[in-house]
Amino acid sequence: MNVMKNILIVLLIVVLLIGAVLLYGFLKGGDRDLGQAPDLTVHTVAGEDITLSTFYKESGAVLVFFDRKNEQSVKLLQNLSAADGTPVLLVSLDDTEKELSAFLSENNIAFPAAADDGAAAETYHISAGPVSYFIRKDGSVRAVSLSNMNEKTIRKYLKYIKNS
């Protein structure tokens, strides 16, 4: 009986170790992509139409869905200055163009931004923000964040899309 118990304990430890290694590899990032970014076209508050596949073509890009009434979204937008030249496209989930334009102006946010009519959120299956997609220039999604990120984390994810 003790031998069987010891075998079960050893097997449990092995399974837990294997699970920990797999989880660590997943959380660390590894060298894998998360599939192709679905293409979309949005109309920005500046009056231009931006097609995502053209937007990321040169150097990759960050696509951010946000809700300005959500504190985490606002903090994320403030931290995006860490993007340091990487194109960033903002998609507001809860604003009219007029509200979004005023919000961007009041907060000195210069990234292109669009008030979503629901089509972009539906394409990406988003119901609340912030959600950020880090997209390589070949269109592959390298990382997704479902919350606010500090500047250090943003820079880390930017390295993922720059090293492609």
Tens digits of per-residue pLDDT, 119-140? 999 999 998 889 999 999 999 9
Question: For 46-101, how does the pLDDT look when each residue is reduced to its tens digit (9 = 90+)?
Answer: 999 999 999 998 889 999 999 988 888 888 888 887 777 899 999 999 889 999 99
Q: Report whether 34 contacts 138 (CB < 8 A).
A: no
Please give the pLDDT value at position 10: 57
CA distance 92 to 102: 13
Boundaries of every domain in the chain: 1-30, 41-162
34 band by pLDDT with thresholds 50, 70 and 90: confident
Q: Which of residues 104 and 160 earns the better pLDDT score? A: 104
The whole-model pTM stands at 0.77
| Residue 76, number of CB atoms within 10 A of its CB | 23
For domain 41-162, give the fold: Glutaredoxin (3.40.30)
Closest CA to 121 of 149, 95, 99: 95
